[in-house]
């Protein structure tokens, strides 16, 4: 047990020990979080890599150093002689944890892909022929990834009208509840990483909201895929939960039929049971689980390096919308409103087809906990990835 004060339902018990960056007394410091307090790692393990504005140097130091630092933090926080007041997380500024390199977003939920396929190609086979053979993905925009709590201006874009195109605010703004994986040590160009070695490269996990302007996306995406409908902002949670903390929740992936190519065969425990919830205001619209994804993070990482592409410290790859089989497990409004046709109700009596200015979207995620699902394990949580929609710039030039 730790001497630190950890509320019973906290996302951040001593078994978690996530990594983030906080500004304390004007200085950025790489820190961990325990309950509602922060502990600069440099106070326990003296190393210049912890006195930086990002955790990149620590993530680059590799799996044996990650494990050693984790052991040192755990030992320090469980030694009663070390007991002392720690800074409240509410009294420090929490920064983006890493300088993000490349960003990839996959499309790995078969439930999401099937429902979207039925919406866009009614009457046809919902999954395109490639879907069960490889994790579909696209390269996104790393420079617009923002930390939880950052406002999201409504994007403006070119939209079709009868007989023409006009430039205006997106009227179909959506969220996507996702989970993202942060690369610690990259791979060299020309050296693909098989799924069984993904753990040696991936440091940890964050929540990701892949904000999406569906009307901008629908007009621009053919034939090359998502562009400005996605690139205006992506929100991530503030603390990177190490894969090491999630080890008790690893599980086998769903049956994959047909069997994937040998280069994509999961080692058997690449799936992780993580509950993912999405709320608009106080209303939880989605309760899904990462274990229901078809493709695992190990397969995603193997696929993105399978052509010899290199990865670097701080690269982020996200799962795609995390949806499950149930009607309450749809990770975006596109799905839950059937393309804006069937509004969803909020607890305040209002309805939504798409997000309105002022709406606050909050993603939450955790593994274990004292739930009926998993009463034996302590809760390992991610905190929140939250963002508020604000009116966008209306001075974008001639219309
Ligand atoms: Mn997405």
**Dihedral over Cα of 75, 76, 81, 84: its sign:** negative
Beta partners for 145? 234
Output the pLDDT for position 376. 64
Output the pLDDT for position 399. 45
The predicted-structure confidence for 208-263, as pLDDT tens digits, reads as follows 999 999 999 999 999 999 999 999 999 999 999 999 999 999 999 999 999 999 99
Look up the pTM and report it.
Answer: 0.97
**Dihedral over Cα of 220, 221, 222, 223: its sign:** positive
The predicted-structure confidence for 153-195, as pLDDT tens digits, reads as follows 999 999 999 999 999 999 999 999 999 999 999 999 999 999 9
CA–CA separation, 189 and 243 (whole Å): 24
Cα of 168 to ligand 1 centre, how many Å? 23
76-110 as b/e: b if 16+ CB within 10 A: bbeeeeeeeebbebeebebbbbbebbbbbbbbbbb
Q: Which CATH number fits domain 103-398: 3.90.850.10, 3.30.565.10, 3.40.190.10, 2.170.120.40?
A: 3.90.850.10
Cα of 114 to ligand 1 centre, how many Å? 15
Q: Would you state the structure tokens that stand for residue 60, as one six-digit string?
A: 């680059």
Q: Would you state the structure tokens that stand for residue 345, as one six-digit string?
A: 């109700």
The predicted-structure confidence for 294-307, as pLDDT tens digits, reads as follows 999 999 999 999 99
Cα of 12 to ligand 1 centre, how many Å? 26
Instruction: Assign 86 a pLDDT band (cuts: 50, 70, 90).
Output: very high
Average pLDDT over residues 22-31: 96
| Residue 290: CB atoms within 10 Å | 26
- Percent of the chain past pLDDT 90, that is, above it, reads 94
Q: Could you give the residue numbers annotated as active site? A: 112
Average pLDDT over residues 70-89: 98
CA–CA separation, 112 and 331 (whole Å): 8
Beta partners for 173? 213
Cα of 209 to ligand 1 centre, how many Å? 8
Domain coordinates in residue numbering, the chain: 20-95, 103-398
Cα of 178 to ligand 1 centre, how many Å? 7
Average pLDDT over residues 281-295: 98
Are 281 and 262 in contact by the 8 Å Cβ rule? The answer is no
Q: Please give the class, per CATH, of domain 20-95.
A: mainly beta
- Percent of the chain past pLDDT 70, that is, above it, reads 97
| Mean pLDDT score of the chain | 96
Of 7-21, 33-47, 129-143, 372-386, which gets the smallest average pLDDT?
A: 372-386
């Amino acid at each position: 047990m730790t001497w630190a004060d950890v509320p019973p339902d906290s996302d951040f018990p001593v078994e978690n020990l996530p990594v983030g960056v906080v500004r304390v007394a004007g200085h950025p410091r790489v820190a961990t979080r325990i309950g509602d307090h922060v502990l600069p790692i440099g106070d326990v393990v003296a190393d210049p890599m912890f006195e930086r504005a990002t955790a990149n140097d620590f993530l680059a130091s590799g799996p044996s150093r990650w494990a050693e630092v984790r052991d040192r933090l755990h030992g320090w926080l469980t030694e009663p002689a070390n007991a002392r007041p720690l800074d409240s997380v509410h009294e420090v500024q929490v920064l983006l944890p890493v300088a993000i390199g490349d960003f990839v977003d996959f499309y790995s939920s078969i439930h999401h892909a099937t429902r979207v396929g039925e919406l866009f190609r009614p009457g046809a086979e919902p999954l395109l022929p490639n879907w069960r053979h490889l994790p579909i993905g696209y390269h996104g925009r790393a420079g617009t990834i923002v930390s939880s709590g950052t406002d999201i201006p409504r994007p403006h874009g070119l939209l079709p009208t009868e007989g023409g195109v006009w430039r205006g605010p997106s009227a179909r703004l959506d969220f996507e509840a996702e989970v993202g994986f942060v690369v610690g040590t990259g791979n060299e160009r020309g050296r693909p990483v098989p799924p069984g070695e993904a753990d040696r490269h991936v440091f940890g996990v964050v929540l990701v909201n892949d904000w999406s302007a569906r009307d901008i996306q629908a007009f621009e995406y053919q034939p090359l895929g998502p562009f400005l409908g996605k690139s205006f902002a992506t929100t991530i949670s503030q603390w990177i939960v190490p894969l090491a903390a999630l080890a008790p929740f690893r599980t086998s992936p769903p049956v994959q039929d047909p069997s994937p190519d040998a280069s994509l065969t999961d080692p058997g425990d690449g799936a992780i049971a993580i509950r993912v919830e999405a709320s608009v205001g106080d209303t939880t619209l989605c309760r899904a689980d990462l274990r229901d994804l078809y493709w695992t993070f190990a397969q995603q990482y193997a696929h993105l390096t399978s052509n010899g592409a290199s990865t670097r410290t701080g690269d982020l790859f996200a799962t795609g919308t995390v949806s499950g089989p149930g009607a309450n497990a749809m990770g975006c409004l596109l799905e839950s409103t059937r393309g804006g046709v069937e509004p969803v109700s909020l607890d305040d009596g209002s309805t939504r087809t798409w997000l309105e200015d002022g709406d606050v979207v909050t993603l939450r995620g955790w593994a274990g906990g004292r739930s009926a699902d998993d009463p034996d394990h302590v809760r390992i949580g991610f905190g929140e990835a939250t963002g508020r929609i604000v009116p966008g710039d209306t001075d974008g030039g001639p219309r």
